[in-house]
Structure 1
Amino acid sequence: MHQDALTGCNILVVEDDYFVANDIVQLLKSAGATILGPVPSIEASMEILKQQLPTIAILDIKIHDGLSFDVADYLLASSIPFIFFSGYEQKMLPEKYKSAHCLLKPALASDVLRELASAISNAASQQEPTYLAHENSAG
């Protein structure tokens, strides 16, 4: 079920630990996702985001060149869902991220897939439908 939700998704992976990043990439590829990255820094993340917007992102909080909150802010401004995947507990996050999906490391593969699928589902349900205005030409 969770794997189906990720099929065809472009997922940005921001993780500076090579082994963790590799595990995430393999898991997401097996779920049918296309991977943007993985990238170990804010700078590399922003370069990818300037070229292509992902369906969703998975962000480690503490990476090589700082905290990934600038990336999270860019994603929020672009209405792109993300999850934090980090050793930081949700209660340690700044207030504006308190409602963000957050998964503590280490986590089971099934938990990662479930959180990503949930974030995508929540984002889709929060988007308002777009209606086309039609003029009534009768009269």
Structure 2
Amino acid sequence: MTSSQSRVPELYQHVLVVEDDPIIALGLEDTITDLGVADVRVAANVATALAMIEERAPQFALLDVGLVREKSFAIAERLNTLGIPFAFSTGYGADGVPSAFSDRPRLPKPCPTEALEVVLRRRD
């Protein structure tokens, strides 16, 4: 096996987490940082997340589907337009995500560290 075949993809280094539960958000931030990601920013709602994306686009985003009184699909649409990869973190089944995003990874809540690490590996 050549070194390029055995090389593990690098982690994204600038990640946006959109999560409205502060305990879950803190846990995700700590876990992602512990995996080796340099910059993790957290937004609790759609408006804040969109502003953060415009200020400095992440390399990857993890979106909680159900935020307080709103869904994260407007964020997903913006990320899609910008070509930024993202995954959903949700307690909902496949029916909770519109078909336009059916190709995006979905992580369960609570999210196993191993599954989180897989989606945080660069694919480019």
TM-score past 0.5 threshold: yes
Counterpart pick for 2:20 among 12, 16, 19: 16
Unpaired runs of at least 5, structure 1: 125-139
Q: Deviations over 1:25-62 (max 9, x none)?
A: 01111122133421100010011011001000000011
1:79 is aligned to 2:83: yes
**Cα distance in structure 2, aligned partners of 1:55 and 1:70:** 18
Counterpart pick for 1:53 among 51, 57, 62: 57
Post-superposition shift, 1:4?
A: 6.5
Aligned residue for 2:3?
none
Post-superposition shift, 1:63?
A: 0.9
Aligned residue for 1:109?
113
Q: Compare CA radii of gyration and give the structure with the larger one.
A: 1
Helix, strand or coil: the match of 1:5? coil
**Cα distance in structure 1, aligned partners of 2:78 and 2:110:** 26
The sequence identity of aligned pairs, in percent, is 24
Q: Which amino acid aligns with 1:42?
A: V
Q: Normalization by structure 1: what TM-score?
A: 0.77
Q: Normalization by structure 2: what TM-score?
A: 0.86
- Asked if 1 retains the 8 angstrom alpha-carbon contact of 2:89 and 2:108, the reply is yes
**Cα distance in structure 2, aligned partners of 1:19 and 1:92:** 22
